[in-house]
Each structure stands twice: as structure tokens, then as C-alpha cells.
Chains A and B, each alone.
Chain A
Amino acid sequence: MQTETVPIDEPTPDPANARKHGERNLSSIIDSLKAFGQQKPIVVDKRGIVVAGNGTLEAAKRLGWTEIAIVRSELEPTQATAFGIADNRTAELAEWDDEVLRSLLDSMDDEMMDVLAFDSKEIDALVVPDFQPVSEDEQSKLDESKAIICPECGHVFKE
């Protein structure tokens, strides 16, 4: 199986795609493409119709990409359609391990959290982490302004 990079308009979105890509889904894919780039190719059948990755294609277009990575399936169109359904359905049947997921989410910085497509209520459904008190030293001093010295002229700025 070989990955090709083709002009963005070459693959044809599946007109009979059974998966609906709402705005939230597309926004999430856009965030993911922006953060990570395209990490797996979309799959097109022999006719050039997308059987897996219609959402990715739409998101890439919205981002103004001019090219996209694809793999061409050797499956016959009917089989390719069945693959498209199975590809989505098998992912749908997987479940999260909440404990592991929570631990992974806790390790993410703010920027990464924004591209993970979990909203606050979904994260809330996971157990609240066992946050412990920390030292006062970790807090900013609100009654002091920090002096910042310009490395060029030595001028002292107050924060």
C-alpha cells in the first residue's frame, strides 16, 4: 500500500457517506490537522471516491490546504463502501479506560487540551484528580512588581 500526495480537489467526497460530520466534529478535525498535520492518509476507492476520511478532506479544504495524502484501495467499490462503514463502526465500538484517559489528559498542557475534542462536561464525567495543596512559593506575589531589565539599554521596567 502506497501513500500518494494529490491535489486537494482530486479525491471526490463520498456523496453517499453515512457518517455526518457536524460543525463540532469538523472543528475538532481542523484543530487536530493544525496541531499534528495529517498523520494518516485518507482512503479512496478505485474511482477516486473517499471511503474513509471524508471529514479530514473537508477539514483540510477549510484550512486551505492544496494537497492531501491518500492511499488507493484495491477493493471493488461495494467492498470499499463496506470497509468505510466497518472502519467507522469498529472505532465506535472501542471504549475509553477512564482512569488511563484521565491520567493522560492531566499530563497535557492547555494548548494540547484544546485539540483533543473533549469538552468540559465530558472531562467532568471523569473522576476529579486528587489535587493536593502546594507551597505558597508557587503563587505570584500580587503586592510586588517584578523589575525587568532591558538587555540592550539597561532600562528597568516594572511588570
Chain B
Amino acid sequence: MSSRNDLRLDWCSSQAATYACRRWHYSGCMPRFKTSKVGVWEDGDFIGCLVFTNPMPPVVKKFKLNGTQITELARVALTDHRTPVSRIIAIATKMIYKANPGLVVLVSYADSGQGHHGGIYQASGFGYYGRNEGGRELLWNGRFVHPRTIVSAISTGKIRKEDAWSLPSRPTGGKHCYAKIIGCLDGYRIPCKTEPFPKRVRSETSDTPGDQSGEGGATPTRTLHP
């Protein structure tokens, strides 16, 4: 069983975060905007990171805050770990708030197209604020990918523009929105109605089983030894 001495959360470099996101997060990449990165070490070994960023304007607008009062937990990129992800998120959130005391809301998304329903956020005290509509994803090299991947592939010559138009596509399942208040702002309440948590089900639009490893971008916690 993990003891407190085994686990260490501390700031990590962009290089470490990029490494973790490439290998241990389904997106395979870092967010493009400014980030704050919390690394996770177990028994002295680097096992991944959590990346926080400022969310896109529509998200800021939804929560009726300004861009410096809200942060998004954009990546939970962990390899095999013993510590529950909810505990890692709790510690990282405290670190982020301590370093950024002007923050009020933490938001995060679970990609239903990846078979994620947000169990790690449910276990971390987030409220659920519904699922967005999602867009479309394209079948390329045997995998459904985000249109941004295709745009990038066209620019690097991996696929010709005329071929990209004819790729089969399907709607994505959208993303589940979770949020919690982490700071103080007089009289502020999240201006959206909470909804019942979605359940872990096989995605309507994904080939990925609902109980896949990688839920929430992290591999599930191993069974603890008695």
C-alpha cells in the first residue's frame, strides 16, 4: 500500500510534462497555451504529471469569470501508479491554488469519445455540468482522430488534402464538463445547474470500451496489497 513517503508532487519541467503527455495521455500532446505543471513521483520515480492551463474563452464565459480566475486541468498523464488519482488531483489542486491565489474555479473535461465518463472528477468532489455537443472525428490509419490531427497531417505531407476530404467521419460523443470552486470570490456561485453524474457506460460513439484502462487520461489504480 502506498505510504505518504512514497508519493511526491512537485513542479515539473516542460520537458517532463511533454514526455508524460506524449506517452501517457490519449491526446499525445501538451496544451498549446500557458501551463502550470505538477509532476508526480512514486518511490522517487517520475510517473507523470497534471497540466493546468487557462481555458478557452467560451469556458470562461460559461462560468462568468475572467480568464485569470479559472483554470482547466487539461491533462492527467500518468503511467502505472499506486496512489488514487483523486488524491493526486487533490494535492495538485492545492499546489495550484497556493501558487495562483486569484483562481476561483477549476474545470476539467472527460472525453466521452475516449470512453471517459469522469470518474476521477466525481471522486474528487467536482460538480457535473453536462456534456457539450462535440464535433466530428475522422478515420485515418485505422484510428478515429480529431480534425486538428488531419490538418497537421496535411501540413506535414502525411496525407494529401484531396484524400483528407474523403476520409470517413463520425460524430464525437462530446466532453463531460466538471468543475469545482477552489478559491474565494465574494458571492460567486457557479452559474450553471449541476446535473447527475454520468455513469460508466460503453461510449455511444466510440469503439473504446467504457472500462478501458486510461480512464481520465490515467491508468487505473492497481489493486492495493492487503
- Scan residues 20-36 of chain B and give those whose CB is less than 8 A from a CB of chain A: 22-23, 28, 34-36
A157 within 8 A of B: no
Are B35 and A139 in contact, CB atoms less than 8 angstroms apart?
yes
Cα A159 to Cα B53 in complex, Å, equals: 13
Are B103 and A133 in contact, CB atoms less than 8 angstroms apart?
no
Contacts of A30 in B (CB 8 A): 156-158
Expressed in whole angstroms, the minimum distance between the Cβ of B87 and any Cβ of chain A is: 18
Are B36 and A123 in contact, CB atoms less than 8 angstroms apart?
no
A149 within 8 A of B: no
Are A145 and B99 in contact, CB atoms less than 8 angstroms apart?
no
Are B34 and A142 in contact, CB atoms less than 8 angstroms apart?
yes
B96 within 8 A of A: yes
Q: Mark A88-118, 1 if CB is under 8 A from B, else 0.
A: 0000000000000000001000100110000
Are A133 and B39 in contact, CB atoms less than 8 angstroms apart?
yes
Residue from A24, A34, A142, A159 having most chain B Cβ neighbours under 10 A = A142
Chain A interfacial residues counted at CB < 8 A: 32
A10 within 8 A of B: no
Contacts of A142 in B (CB 8 A): 34, 36, 52-54, 68, 71, 96, 100, 103
- Scan residues 18-53 of chain A and give those whose CB is less than 8 A from a CB of chain B: 23-24, 27, 30-31, 34
Q: Could you say which of B14, B157, B160 contacts A34, with CB atoms under 8 Å apart?
A: B157
Are A145 and B68 in contact, CB atoms less than 8 angstroms apart?
yes
Are A144 and B68 in contact, CB atoms less than 8 angstroms apart?
yes
Nearest A residue to B29 via CB reads A110
B205 within 8 A of A: no
Expressed in whole angstroms, the minimum distance between the Cβ of A11 and any Cβ of chain B is: 20
B114 within 8 A of A: no
Contacts of A31 in B (CB 8 A): 156-158
Are A131 and B18 in contact, CB atoms less than 8 angstroms apart?
no
Cα A61 to Cα B11 in complex, Å, equals: 47
Expressed in whole angstroms, the minimum distance between the Cβ of B206 and any Cβ of chain A is: 20
B209 within 8 A of A: no
Cα A24 to Cα B143 in complex, Å, equals: 14
Cα A142 to Cα B36 in complex, Å, equals: 7
Expressed in whole angstroms, the minimum distance between the Cβ of A25 and any Cβ of chain B is: 12
Q: Could you say which of A63, A120, A140, A145 contacts B28, with CB atoms under 8 Å apart?
A: A120
Residue from A120, A139, A144 having most chain B Cβ neighbours under 10 A = A139
* Interface positions of B (Cβ within 8 A of A): 8, 10-16, 18-19, 22-23, 28, 34-37, 39, 41, 45-46, 52-54, 67-69, 71, 79, 96, 99-103, 141, 156-158, 160
